[in-house]
Structure 1
Amino acid sequence: MDPIIIVAIVVIIALIFEYSNGFNDAANALATTVSTRALEPKNALLLGVIFEFMGAFIVINLTMLLGNILFFKPVADTMGKIVSLPAVGSEISNGEIFSLEYLGLIICIGLITAFIWNLGARHLGVPTSSSHAMIGGICGAGFAAFGIGAIKIEIVMLA
């Protein structure tokens, strides 16, 4: 499969996960203003959308200007070290090669699992963390693919 298609599929699934992250975390930011009747729900939602977008836009631009040192690199490094995966192109078992498709599948399964967790928690009214759901999804996908030895528990404990 073409690497561009694999990346596109992963990005689409990541955006779907982020949708669940948004309806999980946006309530934290807007609940006080709505419950105290400081703003009507429609106005609070509009302000929430504007400021969430501005926050993401500002962080992305600052990251591009200042580099990854201050912002996402430490987070991305930690997330990338949670599960020990073989290098793309290396043999994993019975002559099978660890391909980009295999890596994309592991990432997609982790994101889909986290999305389902967020939906279930929302349906049941249980508070949850999308970040921890993603960590659990990645650990579960790594465990299913390579066993318990693939999970680096010392890194998971830092997250």
Structure 2
Amino acid sequence: MNISTSKLNSALELYLSAFQWQEPHNGKSLGYRIHKLIFQLMNSHFENISVYTDIQIIVKELDGFIRQLKAEFNCIHVDLDSLEYPNFVAKLEALKPHSILDEYHALTIELSKLMLFRIVNSDEQNSIEKRYRELIMSLVHEYSPTKKINPLFNDKKVSKSKTDIQALIKQQIDITIDH
């Protein structure tokens, strides 16, 4: 499929914002935490997309990741579509992303359902949720590693004190500031 970069970026941004709008309101709920995790994963995926083939690669990798999760958490033969989920999952299913993101969208919904099913039906909900978080965050860091932030001033110590700032300005541009 041949698609322009601007149209691709527009579709990605539109999908991210639509996904974010479906965030559950209760900040303490399991659905909210799962939604936030998947949103972080999507952000890290979309940072690396520049052409359509990147989406195809990420879809294959996400599908493999979901298969791995199903195997690890013994959910291979579970029919996730036959179960009931919180309201935000139905809202996500109702989203109609650009056609280039249909497969990706289906996989994010499947991941949401898998996580909700496995955590809710577990005796050790906290440990299962923690394990999911670790696995997803490792994938997030794989796609967007933390960036080193360089300080603005290497040679000068800049504090929040008004006098220090005025002295620095005076030294840098050789004028006096009177208040």
**Which band: TM-score by shorter chain?**
0.3 to 0.5
Structure number with greater CO (CA < 8 Å, separation at least 6) is 1
More helix as a share of residues: 1
Q: Greater Rg, structure 1 or structure 2?
A: 2
